[in-house]
Amino acid sequence: MLRSILLGVGGYLPEKVLSNEDLEHMVDTSDSWIRERTGICRRHIAAPEELTSDLAIRAAQEALKHAHLSGADMDMIILATTTPDDTLPATAVKVQRAIGMTGGFAFDIQAVCSGFMYALATADAYIRSGMIKKALVIGAETISRIVDWTDRNTCVLFGDGAGAVILSAEDKAGTNQDQGVLTTILRSDGRYADLLRTTGGVSRTQTAGTILMEGREVFRHAVQNLAEVAHQVLENTGLSAEDVSFLVPHQANARIIDGTAKKLNFGPERVILTLPEQGNTSAASIPLALFEGVMRGQIHRGDLLLLESMGGGFTWAGALIRY
Ligand code: ACO
Q: Is the pTM of this model over 0.85?
A: yes
Mark whether 280 is an active-site residue.
yes
Q: What does DSSP assign to residue 253?
A: -
- The CATH architecture assigned to 2-171 reads 3-Layer(aba) Sandwich (3.40)
Mark whether 113 is an active-site residue.
yes
Are residues 243 and 221 in contact, defined by beta-carbon separation less than 8 angstroms? no
The separation between the first and the last C-alpha atoms of the chain, rounded to the nearest angstrom, is 17
**pLDDT confidence of residue 312:** 97
What is the bridge-based pairing of β-strands 105-109 and 76-80?
parallel
Residue 210 Cβ < 6 Å to ligand 1 = no
Q: What does DSSP assign to residue 280?
A: B
Task: Name residues of the chain where pLDDT drops below 50.
Answer: none
Q: Which residue puts its alpha carbon closest to atom 7 of ligand 1? A: 152
- What string of DSSP letters covers 160-188? -EEEEEEEEEEE--SSTTSSEEEEEEEEE
Q: What is the pLDDT of residues 117-127, one digit of tens each?
A: 999 999 999 99
**pLDDT confidence of residue 112:** 98
Catalytic residue among 44, 66, 113, 221: 113
Nearest ligand 1 atom, CA 218:
41
CA of 38 to the centre of ligand 1 (A): 8
**pLDDT confidence of residue 8:** 98
**pLDDT confidence of residue 158:** 98
3-state secondary structure of 245: coil
What is the bridge-based pairing of β-strands 16-19 and 42-45?
antiparallel
**pLDDT confidence of residue 119:** 99
Residue 259 Cβ < 6 Å to ligand 1 = no
Extents of the domains making up the chain: 2-171, 180-322
CA of 57 to the centre of ligand 1 (A): 33
- The CATH architecture assigned to 180-322 reads 3-Layer(aba) Sandwich (3.40)
CA of 323 to the centre of ligand 1 (A): 35
Q: What does DSSP assign to residue 70?
A: -
Are residues 309 and 116 in contact, defined by beta-carbon separation less than 8 angstroms? yes
- What string of DSSP letters covers 120-144? HHHHHHHHHHTS-SEEEEEEEE-GG
ω into 249 cis (within 30 of 0): no
Are residues 81 and 208 in contact, defined by beta-carbon separation less than 8 angstroms? no
CA of 215 to the centre of ligand 1 (A): 5
Residue 197 Cβ < 6 Å to ligand 1 = no
121: Cβ–Cβ under 8 A, 6 or more apart, which residues? 184, 186, 317, 319
CA distance 281 to 219: 17
Q: CA nearest 278: which of 290, 262, 289, 268?
A: 289
180: Cβ–Cβ under 8 A, 6 or more apart, which residues? 3, 4, 5, 6, 170, 172, 321, 322
Same fold for the pair 2-171 and 180-322? yes
Residue 196 Cβ < 6 Å to ligand 1 = yes
Are residues 141 and 114 in contact, defined by beta-carbon separation less than 8 angstroms? no
CA distance 192 to 92: 28
CA dihedral 150, 154, 155, 158 (to 10 degrees): -160
- φ/ψ (deg, to 5) at 5: -90, 140
CA distance 185 to 79: 19
CA distance 156 to 275: 12
